[in-house]
Amino acid sequence: MNRLAAFLLCTALTAPAFAQELRATGDLGVVVERATGSVLIVDQSERAAIGRVEGFGDLSHASLVFSADERFAYIFGRDGGLTKLDLLTQQIVGRVVQAGNSIGGAISDDGKLIAVANYEPGGVNIFDAETLEQLVAIPAGGKALGLEDAPGRKFVFSVWDTGETKIVDMSGPEPKITTLSNIGAEPYDALVTDDGRTYIAGLFGEDGLTSIDLWAEVPEPRRILPQYGRGKEEMPVYKMPHLEGWAKAGDQIVLPAIHHHEVLWIDSRTLEETGRTATHGQPVFAMARPGGRQVWVNFAHPDNDTVQVIDSMTHEVVGEMKPGPAVLHMEFTSRGTEAWVSVRDENKVVIYDTTTLEPIGEIAAESPSGIFFTARAHRLGL
């Protein structure tokens, strides 16, 4: 047998086995199992869990981001843990406990830096995404919240105690920090619009929101929506709404109301309110189905067994589902054909067809909370 024939024979014999070891990352995702410090790695195409990984610490308020190649997830635990997970080998490949109490993080637009916001001792720590070596500590004088990535290797966050927002520019050899005062009382969460231009901070200590134009030569805080918040008929708050769960539907931004059973519709160009939709309960997440035609909303206790679907053109509720007690999070597949819903108290994730609103699958999970698909790797502000 000549060398060419031997090579072809060897290739033919080994190719099938090699092919079976390959796996793409585009339809993978992570489901946080908050009670057990573990995560499920899920396959959207198979509608199934393909692995469980343990050892992430306290995941009671966990979030995560993905590397640009979708291979790695960076998981932020409430205990200050920053953990790097390889989705393909299903192994933890790095972990640091960088603070005593953390509240989320972000990845830079070039995928090189990971930032973590901390309650205790406060401030933001920034790490090398490859090695998890700490590069910078940004002091804040209080609890850091609302941490978002922004174009140009920047991070933006707010400080609960001081009512400030800080813009951290990491594009040069040293960090450049711009501090904006008079943001408002007790900023608690924030969002960045999908074009990376506008940072909006929610305020717990007073009504209204504050926006910052990140494209401006000299960014300045601008108070918007003075009626957003408690209003005259304040209701008890069982769970603060997440501004990071905001929805953009066409030229509209949809925000969950605080203290009220409503979502608010905002003109994305003027940042002025254009309408409200009454909802089943106090909304936590208002999330737009890709394409923007629908907005899905879940709710705080005691109404957290329900998900409602709102038509973004008519602003009317067009569907209502009862997945089970303690619906904590929702995530759409990349083109919006399915919605995955975590149901903590029944230890499951329910998968819905977004056209029929009927369940089409279910995955067992231990006290599931956040669901995150790798398509997030290519979007700002997540």
DSSP 308-369: EEEETTT--EEEEE---S-EEEEEE-TTSSEEEEEEGGGTEEEEEETTT--EEEEEE-SSEE
Contact 85, 53 (CB under 8 A): yes
Q: What is the dihedral of CA 322, 327, 329, 331, to 10 degrees?
A: -20
Q: Which residue has the higher pLDDT, 19 or 318?
A: 318
Q: Are strands 247-249 and 252-256 parallel, antiparallel or unpaired?
A: antiparallel
Task: Round to whole Å and give the CA distance between 191 and 211.
Answer: 10
Task: Round to whole Å and give the CA distance between 73 and 370.
Answer: 13
pLDDT tens column, 220-252: 999 999 888 765 555 555 455 667 666 777 789
pLDDT tens column, 313-341: 999 999 999 999 999 999 999 999 999 99
Q: Which residue has the higher pLDDT, 3 or 340?
A: 340
| Segment (H or E) for 254 | strand 252-256
- Through-space distance between the first and last CA atoms of the chain, rounded to whole angstroms: 57
What pLDDT is attached to residue 12?
45
Half-sphere exposure of residue 82: CA atoms within 13 angstroms, side-chain side: 28
Count the Cβ atoms, other than its own, within 10 Å of residue 56: 24
Position 141 confidence tier, pLDDT thresholds 50, 70, 90 = very high
Q: What is the DSSP string of 17-60?
A: HHHHH---STTEEEEEETTTTEEEEEETTTTEEEEEEE-----T
CA 199 to chain CA centroid, Å, is 15
Local structure of residue 159 (DSSP, 8 states): E
Q: What is the pTM of this model?
A: 0.91
Task: Round to whole Å and give the CA distance between 94 and 196.
Answer: 29
Task: Round to whole Å and give the CA distance between 86 and 20.
Answer: 18
Half-sphere exposure of residue 68: CA atoms within 13 angstroms, side-chain side: 9
Over 90: is that where the pLDDT of 73 sits? Answer: yes
CA distances from 149 to 35, 169, 200 (A): 28, 10, 13
Task: Round to whole Å and give the CA distance between 293 and 264.
Answer: 16
Lowest-confidence segment of 76-85, 266-275, 340-349, 365-374 by average pLDDT: 266-275
Task: Round to whole Å and give the CA distance between 10 and 120.
Answer: 58
CA 55 to chain CA centroid, Å, is 21
pLDDT tens column, 31-47: 999 999 999 999 999 99
What pLDDT is attached to residue 238?
47
Q: By C-alpha distance, which of 314, 280, 274 is closest to 297?
A: 280
Over 50: is that where the pLDDT of 18 sits? Answer: no
Over 70: is that where the pLDDT of 4 sits? Answer: no
pLDDT tens column, 266-322: 998 899 999 999 999 999 999 999 988 999 999 999 999 999 999 999 999 999 999
Half-sphere exposure of residue 330: CA atoms within 13 angstroms, side-chain side: 33
Position 69 confidence tier, pLDDT thresholds 50, 70, 90 = very high
Percent over 90 (pLDDT), the chain: 78
Count the Cβ atoms, other than its own, within 10 Å of residue 319: 15
pLDDT tens column, 92-105: 999 999 998 888 99
Task: Round to whole Å and give the CA distance between 19 and 293.
Answer: 39
